[in-house]
Amino acid sequence: MKEQKKEHTWIISLISAITIFLILAVFAKSQAAGLLKPKNGDQSLISIKSHNVSVVIDNGFARTEVDQVFINTGDRDLEAVYSFPLPKKASLSELTLWIDGKEIVGEVLEKQKAKQVYEDPKSKGKETALAEKNGYKTFDISVYPVKAANETRIRLVYYQPLTIDLNVGRYVYPLKEGGVDEERISFWSVDSEIKESFTFDLILKSTQPVKDMRMPGYTQALIEKLPSTTGEEGGNDHIYHARLDYSKGGNLSEDIIFYYRLDDTVPARVEVVSYKEAGAKDGSFMMTITPGASLGRISEGVDWVFILDKSGSMSGGKIQALAGGVSRVIGKMTPADRFKVVTFNDIANDITGGFINATPENINKTLAMITNIHAEKSTALHAGLKLGLKKIDSERTSAIFLVTDGVANIGPEHHSDFLKLLEANDIRIFTFVMGNSANRPLLETLAKKSGGFTMDISSQDDIYGKILQAKSKVIREAMHGVTVKFSGGGVSKLTPASPGSLYHGQQLVMFGKYNKPGPVSISMQAKISGAEQEWTCDTTLPAEDLDNPEIERLWALSAIDEVMDEIEINGESDNLRDQVAKLGKKYSLVTDYTSMVVLDEQEMEGLGIQRSNADRVNKERKAQQQRKNSPQKSYRVDNTKSGGMFKGASSPGVGSGPVGPWFLVVLLGCCWLVRRKC
């Protein structure tokens, strides 16, 4: 019992010490969402008059709507270019522009064509708008004209699946850019000020009771539980409301995060949300599995590897905080531990000369070297990771501590180059995706291909909750090699095709198509400490279900992500590019190869642009209104007489208490126990 307590204390001390660095790192210079204005050029009199955000979290996904008004106080017409960080796994599916007082919904075309279509009416002074995706970094919205001494209104809508981790849900409205796009920073300044109204309004609908809610950093937020639409207490209709209201303006400089924690009694479960029109060939579904599998504790000796970014982007106090945090970590080691420290900027350097024992002499010597680290030059991420993974002992459990924003700008940059490093190392890599505009595709690929996981962290995050999540995962077994199979239903096009690993508290979200409505059996297999296990349940896929048409877009987005992963690893090809463009156009999504453009309806008709997205938006809005006026519906499919897939097990929570009172820190790396693969 003493050894167990000692292990708990050591891990908490480790993670807490690392956060000393992270607390200061969050305040590094970065850009915000807002209007892009060229440096050393025309500092126009265009600005954001109002910015009103409406969010609905329901049925496992979130709908975010941004209604924004630009104002031009100058004496000539101007173009507004609004940029905001790319939300995680989000489908920008609606761009609306008001032309002559009439709402016009945009349509998706291939990227180059959409740009050409936008430029033509712009050159003629006609009203138009364009939404584009800037890689993994931002969505950019161009609007012309914002007329002199006048206003222009637009609306954006995007959808994204949300997951629960250790019974804690987390929604992020991203506003703070990561400052990783050096070319953009050198050319543009960002005007993030809102002149008048700035509101953020969120509705959470849950079939499970919610124990706590938080909006870190916003003490003025209104958070309340709303009356049930059924008028019955104790039912499955739990509705919550959160609101920020700045009537005198604000600034788009900090992320807005909403946490909600489900009650500890919430069961492990399988939920399936489907959409199918009567007579349609295919239906779509989203399946969320919240495991209740027993994952035992891990207690082994550890080799610690610290891979520390000391490039120029780490300046501004971050490098000093990094040195202090790592020093605290090393100082907590026992003589039985070993550690290695690698630093990198434009080159990598093993400052400990390989693994050394954590003796007082070695610790003091290493601390002196870390204290003298200076931030400068470029980021050779590949070289740093390669040297850090050198001579990993396959017979020992290893811990990887990677500190980087994942934006490699010197040396190998392609995903395949990084994946080759994993071939010679039988390890798992766990990454924190720091802030917005980080190279999430690369960091997620490294984690997924090695069987690890990623965590997204914002400057507004609750470090206490993150510490609890980290602790719970590093000291427990994981479910490796997860596979999901369907019997019946004509199920196909599952995405992700290979789920990978699930760690304590994590959910699995999958999308798919089906063409044979009726009974279906679902089975999930995984290895826990090398032993194969299986869980099963039965459900029915409906012949008609019109409640959630957004599922079609979410399936398409997940399918696009799979293709983009292949492009990042194996390179672009005509076939892969065409797959993304085809899905983007069919389901009206802004992707790397498609954009959304708005024109006067007569202009669109003249160009032969089909109004498929306008029809889809109309269908989605009708369904959303219907859901708003109806009781909350449970989509759980495993609560059968036999006890369900996990036989009535509780969903793994984090114990009693609030989501967390500390709302100051982001994590900028990863520090996780890495077990040998099963």
pLDDT, averaged per 10 consecutive residues of the chain (678 residues), comes to 47 46 44 78 81 94 96 92 88 93 96 97 95 89 94 96 88 77 67 94 92 89 83 65 91 90 88 95 95 73 78 63 64 78 92 90 86 83 90 76 74 85 74 68 79 67 50 72 94 93 89 97 91 92 97 97 91 96 97 96 94 97 92 84 65 44 30 35
- How far apart are alpha carbons 159 and 65 in whole angstroms? 9
- How far apart are alpha carbons 31 and 197 in whole angstroms? 21
- How far apart are alpha carbons 428 and 480 in whole angstroms? 11
pLDDT of residue 506: 87
DSSP 572: -
- How far apart are alpha carbons 11 and 3 in whole angstroms? 12
pLDDT of residue 228: 72
Q: Which residues pair with 241 in a beta bridge?
A: 203, 224
Residues contacting residue 415 through CB under 8 Å, at least 6 positions apart = 441, 442, 445, 568, 569
Distances (CA, A) of 4 to 300, 334, 475: 11, 15, 10
Query: Could you tell me the two tokens for 326?
Result: 């790592």
- How far apart are alpha carbons 374 and 448 in whole angstroms? 32
Q: Which helix (H) or strand (E) holds 8?
A: helix 2-25
- How far apart are alpha carbons 273 and 630 in whole angstroms? 16
pLDDT of residue 42: 61
Cβ proximity of 297 and 529 under 8 Å: no
pLDDT of residue 187: 66
Burial class of residue 495, CB neighbours in 10 A (0-12, 13-18, 19+) = buried
Q: Kindly report the number of other CB atoms within 10 A of residue 467's CB atom.
A: 21
pLDDT of residue 79: 93
**Strand ranges (E), 73-122:** 78-85, 91-99, 102-105, 107-110
DSSP 145: E
**478-341-344 Cα angle (round to 5):** 105
Domains of the chain: 2-28+296-476+662-674 (3.40.50.410), 34-264+594-628 (2.60.40)
User: Which residue type, as a one-letter code, is found at position 15?
Assistant: I
Would you mind telling me the total number of residues written for the chain in this entry?
A: 678
3-class DSSP assignment, residue 243: strand
| Radius of gyration of the chain measured on its C-alpha atoms | 25
**Maximum pairwise Cα distance, the chain:** 78
pLDDT of residue 308: 83
- How far apart are alpha carbons 167 and 471 in whole angstroms? 15
Residues contacting residue 338 through CB under 8 Å, at least 6 positions apart = 303, 304, 355, 356, 357, 358
Distances (CA, A) of 627 to 229, 236, 439: 11, 14, 36
3-class DSSP assignment, residue 583: helix
Burial class of residue 9, CB neighbours in 10 A (0-12, 13-18, 19+) = exposed
Q: How far is CA 590 from the centre of its chain?
A: 17
pLDDT of residue 409: 80
Cβ proximity of 592 and 577 under 8 Å: no
Cβ proximity of 676 and 397 under 8 Å: yes
What DSSP assignment string belongs to 361-399?
HHHHHHHHHHHT----S---HHHHHHHHTTT--TTSEEE
Phi/psi at 144 (5° precision): -145, 145
Q: Is the peptide bond prior to 85 cis by the omega test (within 30 degrees of 0)?
A: no
What pTM was computed for the model? 0.82
- How far apart are alpha carbons 340 and 303 in whole angstroms? 8
Q: Which helix (H) or strand (E) holds 309?
A: strand 302-309
CA count, 13 A, side-chain hemisphere, 10: 19
pLDDT of residue 313: 66
